[in-house]
Amino acid sequence: MLSMRWVIWWNILIALYAPGPSIGQTATPTICEDESCRCDSFTRVICSCTKELEEVTLRPQGAYRIPPMTTGISIEGCHSVTFLQNTIRSLIQLRTVELKNISNIMIRERALDWSPFSRDSEMNPGIRLTIENSTVSEIASHSIQGRINEVLISNSRIINLRPFAFSSLTGVKSVEFINNDFINIDIQTFKKFTTSNFIIRGGTIHNLPSRFLSDVEVTNLFRLDGVKIKYLSSLTFLVTAPKRILIENNVIDTIEGDCFHMVSRGPITFRNNSVTVLNKGALLGFSVQREVIAVMGRQELLIDNNTITNLTPAALVYNQTVLTMRVDGLNLNNSCTCELAEEWHDIYNKQGGIINCWYELEGYFISLPTFVSIRCGTFKQTFWIFVAVGFLFIVLAAGIAIFFIVRKENEKKKKLQIVLPDGKTYKETEFHVIVERAELLTTDL
């Protein structure tokens, strides 16, 4: 700090005592004279910090301002980089801002607001902003606005994203976040603009707030890929017009109902995600533009190879007037039971998809119908075996009973046969008489 101030005074002294023309510089120094920076012959500002705790501040005016004809700003390896308000507003030639390997980036309100053209046109040149391998302390409200071609932030830690951080942008081709860790994200981070592509790939996010993307038109691709997310609020994505929506390979703790409020122009793929809680109506906000329906019919919502722990069939409710759903793989991360199968029976009957449950006995996922046929089916089979055994038992018992009854009857009949001709009935006490008669009979024959 001291050395910097000293340099300022030194420059002012030079300006005073050895006037401009002989040195070829303006009265006040520009960032080109900062000890960490230089300006090359292509009017680029290049700052490369080599010493510990070196700081660079980018300002629109005063001493160490950025020269007005600057075409690019490239900063690398500094401890701290701060963009002050309106830093780039009047840099008409500016095309790129590149920040790399910086421990602390601070982008103040309206710092990267750039709208030098009176008329909005994609033919006008725009700015490319890249941030790589850095820690971004804050991207303040309204800090990035105007004619931006591309935003690419990768391998960075983003501590604070304020409301409207990216807002009122024009002519955007792509907004891409690759392998970043987001710490705090305020609501309405991305507000009211159109971009061809919006991509978040890899990295971690604690909490995506409501209206994270608010009135954002994505004309080509919306992709959320390989991100670890703790919480996705209701109305996180208020997005219109993507031709393709891909939500793949994510590990998400909770997805609230109506999280995706997206009007698509094409198919929607929800593939290979691990979700702990998928709340009721989580997919209900997916819709399709009327014009697309009129020309191409309903669009497909593909549910493929996802593992979800807490959900009821109501979590899969979708807008049937504009979408068709194909379930190519849904692993219910619950132990298979016949009750679970019963709960999902309607869905897999109607949907015809592949819905699996966790088969604890074997330690893998099996399809619900298979489980029903091998386990819930077995139950039915044993039931019928019980019925059959019971029936046989009754038949046998009846048979034995009949046998004894018949035998008893026969004996009674024998008794009756040996009743004496005089018609009197005799009790057991007269058995010897019968025996004698029998002997007589046999000898007769």
Residues in contact with ligand NAG by the rule CB under 6 A: 77, 79, 101, 103, 133, 249, 251, 272, 274, 276, 284, 287, 305, 307, 309, 319, 321-322, 333
d(CA 82, CA 199): 26
**Residue nearer to ligand NAG on the CB measure, 57 or 309:** 309
d(CA 423, CA 274): 95
How many other CB atoms are there within 10 angstroms of residue 8's CB atom? 16
206, 231 contact by CB (below 8 A): yes
Minimum CB separation of residue 103 from ligand NAG in Å reads 5
Minimum CB separation of residue 143 from ligand NAG in Å reads 22
**CB-count burial class (<10 Å; 0-12, 13-18, 19+) for 343:** middle
The partner residues of 48 in beta bridges, in order of sequence, read 76
- The amino acid occupying position 200 is I
208-to-116, 222, 398, 428 alpha-carbon distances in Å: 33, 16, 73, 100
CA-atom Rg of the chain in angstroms: 42
Minimum CB separation of residue 279 from ligand NAG in Å reads 15
**Residue nearer to ligand NAG on the CB measure, 174 or 306:** 306
145, 112 contact by CB (below 8 A): yes
**Residue nearer to ligand NAG on the CB measure, 68 or 77:** 77
Minimum CB separation of residue 83 from ligand NAG in Å reads 18
Minimum CB separation of residue 306 from ligand NAG in Å reads 8
Minimum CB separation of residue 16 from ligand NAG in Å reads 36
Look at the chain and count its residues.
445
**Residue nearer to ligand NAG on the CB measure, 63 or 136:** 136
**Residue nearer to ligand NAG on the CB measure, 57 or 103:** 103
d(CA 233, CA 101): 32
**Residue nearer to ligand NAG on the CB measure, 56 or 107:** 56
Minimum CB separation of residue 317 from ligand NAG in Å reads 8
Minimum CB separation of residue 398 from ligand NAG in Å reads 53
- Those residues with Cβ within 8 angstroms of residue 49's Cβ, 6 or more apart along the chain or in another chain: 36, 56, 76, 77, 78, 79
162, 139 contact by CB (below 8 A): yes
Minimum CB separation of residue 218 from ligand NAG in Å reads 17
Minimum CB separation of residue 245 from ligand NAG in Å reads 15
**Residue nearer to ligand NAG on the CB measure, 172 or 245:** 245
How many other CB atoms are there within 10 angstroms of residue 234's CB atom? 18
**Residue nearer to ligand NAG on the CB measure, 164 or 222:** 222
DSSP states along 265-308: SS-EEEES-EEEEE-TTTTTTEEE-HHHHHHH-SEEEEEESEEE
What are φ and ψ of residue 173, in 5° steps?
A: -90, -45
How many other CB atoms are there within 10 angstroms of residue 93's CB atom? 13
Collapsed DSSP state (helix, strand, coil) of residue 56:
strand
**Residue nearer to ligand NAG on the CB measure, 56 or 175:** 56
**Residue nearer to ligand NAG on the CB measure, 207 or 310:** 310
For the chain, the straight-line distance linking the first and the last C-alpha, in angstroms and rounded, comes to 145
